[in-house]
């Protein structure tokens, strides 16, 4: 017989029930009644706590899809697929998607929905790990400092597109240098020449030529500042009332990119050279699978494309009804995200194939990723089309909608995480949201200076690289090994009436943590200092970048130390309190908590034996 007595969870899989008493008749002063069980609406947690929920189920799905499907789906995945063996790249991509991407996505949705709290509050299930909640909140905040700037660039380009002639077609503008060349034959091959599109981005928009490096930033450019302010205003009025407002905004921002991508694809496939570009995108080179770098890049893409580790999935799912089928949601939304990445490749490479043929150069001369693809190469391709201004407007509207809902998700992670942690802020959500977005705006101003692209590059390199992998690793360990996969599975069964299968439990317990540990090690081992073009950052800038990265990761040990020091009792009691759900702390006092039960029982039996020997 086991000496361990674990707390028994309620057998009901539908949460709490209300009892309705119905008066049948009254006889001689005695009332005869019957009782009926009333099924819950699905909005109330077993603890009895009520929480705001999404107006419609589709609001939640569109919000998750809108967050996960962002600019990287357009400028990152297609290029990786082309560079790493075309269709062969899908093999490691789908493999890591199945063993790590989907399980982690499912885990975060279930974690937020069951506990109905933000990224920090959910760790009432294992208090010592609450630091990882603050880690992901900080990461989302840091990303907001530079991600909003990308949207501001897109807005600037959108305004510039409302003209008879696009400003990045010729070299006769005030910002152009003597190196600018309109000649198509020298545009790609001559490294000493610059294209009008390149100079428009770096000199006309960023004014990079007025800065010598990160130590010479200058003042914010008023045009970009105004665009950034518009982005912040849109974000505020999308978030200020919570999911009731943001859930309506995503009906436009999450669906518009699919409409535009389809329109661009229909136009792209009619261009000369488009089919060659698509063939290059899909060409299968299985020999590339022998290259370890291909597998590393596939794993990295999975980690970042699904959006796990930012606290957004936890925040969004916390507003679901308690009985919502989060398993089905995880499968649907993660699959749509990956399919969107694959679909966008057809759009991108149809235009890149056109550019390759037009300039009579190899495709790898025009294929690139990152901001250069959507702000230099693609605008240049659009500029050569009839009705180029119309196509430019359509394209940059797509970029805006791709960026806005992802930025909304990051902001919501910060707002929900802090509101749930500091309950007094709930009554002042509008003011607190204003404080967060204005603070983000003020810090983002450093990225719209003459040398702002250097700060942008530094933030992009350090804010959510190794730190996000570390955060998800700690999150997975906390749930699988301290809270327990079995208990976590019980929570899911209580919500949806179905226990996760063996596959999901094995992934949570072993596969995903090992995968994440591998990624963290690889991230450190393959680290390369950031650079922009030919500019290499000074040592002090890299040190600031590492400090930024460590500032979020250090929250895990700092909070653990704080929690351990503030908990009552002996060292053993402190550990017990630290890893036991807050709702069961009273069981620690009685020695009825899982792994501590046996030792406490042995103490009681030993004490009883001593008393018996004394009596005899």
For residue range 498-557, list pLDDT tens digits in order: 999 999 999 999 999 999 999 999 999 988 999 998 899 999 999 999 999 999 999 999
Number of alpha carbons in the 13 Å side-chain half-sphere of residue 68: 32
C-alpha span between 197 and 173 (Å, rounded):
12
For residue range 38-90, what is the model confidence (pLDDT) as tens digits? 444 444 555 556 788 999 999 999 999 999 999 888 888 998 888 888 888 99
Q: Does residue 525 have a known ligand-binding role?
A: no
Q: Does residue 298 have a known ligand-binding role?
A: no
Tell me if the domain spanning 59-179+194-566 has CATH number 1.10.10.60: no
Q: Does residue 406 have a known ligand-binding role?
A: yes
What integer pLDDT is reported at residue 395 of this predicted model?
95
Q: State the burial class of residue 173 (Cβ atoms within 10 Å of its Cβ: 0-12, 13-18, 19+).
A: middle
C-alpha span between 137 and 118 (Å, rounded):
9
Q: In this model, does residue 401 exceed pLDDT 90?
A: yes
Mean pLDDT of the chain: 87
Cβ-based neighbours of 413, under 8 Å, separated by 6 or more: 118, 119, 136, 137, 140, 310, 311, 312, 314, 315
Answer left, alpha or beta for residue 397, where phi above 0 means left and psi between -120 and 50 means alpha: alpha
For residue range 152-197, what is the model confidence (pLDDT) as tens digits? 999 999 999 998 899 999 898 999 999 898 755 444 555 557 889 9
Q: Does residue 405 have a known ligand-binding role?
A: yes
Q: Does residue 235 have a known ligand-binding role?
A: no
For residue range 96-154, what is the model confidence (pLDDT) as tens digits? 999 999 999 999 999 999 999 999 999 999 999 999 999 999 999 999 999 999 999 99
Inter-axis angle of helices 388-421 and 429-444, nearest 10: 130
Q: Does residue 172 have a known ligand-binding role?
A: no
C-alpha span between 119 and 315 (Å, rounded):
6
Answer left, alpha or beta for residue 533, where phi above 0 means left and psi between -120 and 50 means alpha: left
Of 451, 558, 581, 585, nearest to 133 by C-alpha is 558
What integer pLDDT is reported at residue 2 of this predicted model?
38
- The residue with tokens 């933000």 is 118
- Whole-prediction pTM value? 0.87
Q: Does residue 450 have a known ligand-binding role?
A: no
- The residue with tokens 């702000």 is 375
What integer pLDDT is reported at residue 268 of this predicted model?
94
Percent of the chain beyond pLDDT 90? 69
Q: Does residue 68 have a known ligand-binding role?
A: yes
Q: Does residue 542 have a known ligand-binding role?
A: no
C-alpha span between 264 and 352 (Å, rounded):
13
For residue range 589-609, what is the model confidence (pLDDT) as tens digits? 877 765 544 334 334 434 444
Cα 252 to Cα 55, 63, 291, 298, 400: the distances in Å are 16, 11, 41, 30, 11
What integer pLDDT is reported at residue 604 of this predicted model?
41
Reduced to 3 states (helix: H, G, I; strand: E, B; else coil), residue 536 is: strand
Q: What is the mean pLDDT of residues 351-364?
A: 88
Q: What is the mean pLDDT of residues 399-408?
A: 95
SS3 annotation, 138-160: HHHHHHHHHHHHHHHHHHHHHHH
Q: Could you tell me the pLDDT band of residue 365, with boundaries at 50, 70 and 90?
A: confident
Q: Rg for the chain (alpha carbons), in Å?
A: 28
Q: In this model, does residue 616 exceed pLDDT 50?
A: no
């Amino acid at each position: 017989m086991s000496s361990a007595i674990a707390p028994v969870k309620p057998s009901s899989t539908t949460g709490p029930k209300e009892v309705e008493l119905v008066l049948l008749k009254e006889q001689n002063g005695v009332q005869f009644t019957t009782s009926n069980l009333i099924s819950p609406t699905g909005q109330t947690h077993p603890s009895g706590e009520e929480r705001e929920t999404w107006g419609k189920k589709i609001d939640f799905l569109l919000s998750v899809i809108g967050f996960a499907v962002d600019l990287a789906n357009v400028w990152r995945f297609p290029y990786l697929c082309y560079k790493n063996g075309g269709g062969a790249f899908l093999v490691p991509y789908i493999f890591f998607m199945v063993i790590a991407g989907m399980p982690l996505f499912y885990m975060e949705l279930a974690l937020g929905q069951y506990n109905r709290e933000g990224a920090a509050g959910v760790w009432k299930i294992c208090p010592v790990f609450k630091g990882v909640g603050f880690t992901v909140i900080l990461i989302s905040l840091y990303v907001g400092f530079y991600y909003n700037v990308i949207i501001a660039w897109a807005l600037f380009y959108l305004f510039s597109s409302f003209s008879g002639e696009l400003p990045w077609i010729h070299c006769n503008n005030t910002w152009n240098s003597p190196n600018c060349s309109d000649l198509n034959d020298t545009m790609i091959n001559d490294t000493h020449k610059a294209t009008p599109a390149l100079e428009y981005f770096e000199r006309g928009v960023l004014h990079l030529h007025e800065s010598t490096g990160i130590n010479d930033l200058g003042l914010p450019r008023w045009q970009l500042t105004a665009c950034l302010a518009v982005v912040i205003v849109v974000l505020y009025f999308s978030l200020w009332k919570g999911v009731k407002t943001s859930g309506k905004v995503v009906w436009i921002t999450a669906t518009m990119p699919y409409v535009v991508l389809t329109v661009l694809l229909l136009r792209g496939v009619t261009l000369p050279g488009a089919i060659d570009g698509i063939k290059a995108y899909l060409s299968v080179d299985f020999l590339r699978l022998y290259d370890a770098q291909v597998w590393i890049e596939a794993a990295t893409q999975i980690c970042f494309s699904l959006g796990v580790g930012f606290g957004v999935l936890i925040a969004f799912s916390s507003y679901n009804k308690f009985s919502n089928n989060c398993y089905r949601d995880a499968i649907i939304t993660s699959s749509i995200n990956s399919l969107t990445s694959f679909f966008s490749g057809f759009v991108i490479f149809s235009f890149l194939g056109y550019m390759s043929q037009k300039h009579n150069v190899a495709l790898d001369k025009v294929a690139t990723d990152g901001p250069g693809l959507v702000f230099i190469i693609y605008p240049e391709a659009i500029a050569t089309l009839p009705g180029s201004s119309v196509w430019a407007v359509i394209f940059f509207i797509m970029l805006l909608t791709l960026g806005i809902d992802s930025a909304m998700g990051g902001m919501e992670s910060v707002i929900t995480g802090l509101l749930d942690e500091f309950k007094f802020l709930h009554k002042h959500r509008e003011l607190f949201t204003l404080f967060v977005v204005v603070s983000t705006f003020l810090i983002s101003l450093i990225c719209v200076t003459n040398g702002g692209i250097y700060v942008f590059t530094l933030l992009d390199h350090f804010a959510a690289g190794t730190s996000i992998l570390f955060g998800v690793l700690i999150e997975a360990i906390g749930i699988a090994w301290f809270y327990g996969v079995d208990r976590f599975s019980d929570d899911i069964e209580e919500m949806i009436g179905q226990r996760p299968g063996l596959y999901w439990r094995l992934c949570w317990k072993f596969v995903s943590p090992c995968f994440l540990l591998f990624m963290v090690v690889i991230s450190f081992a393959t680290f390369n200092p950031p650079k922009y073009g030919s500019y290499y950052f000074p040592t002090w800038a890299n040190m600031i970048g590492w400090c930024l990265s460590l500032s979020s990761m250090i929250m895990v040990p700092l909070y653990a130390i704080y929690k351990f020091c503030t908990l009552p009792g002996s060292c053993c009691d402190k550990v017990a309190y630290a890893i036991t759900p807050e709702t069961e702390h009273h069981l620690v006092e009685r020695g009825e908590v899982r792994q501590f039960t046996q030792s406490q029982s042995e103490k009681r039996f030993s004490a009883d034996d001593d008393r018996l020997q004394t009596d005899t």
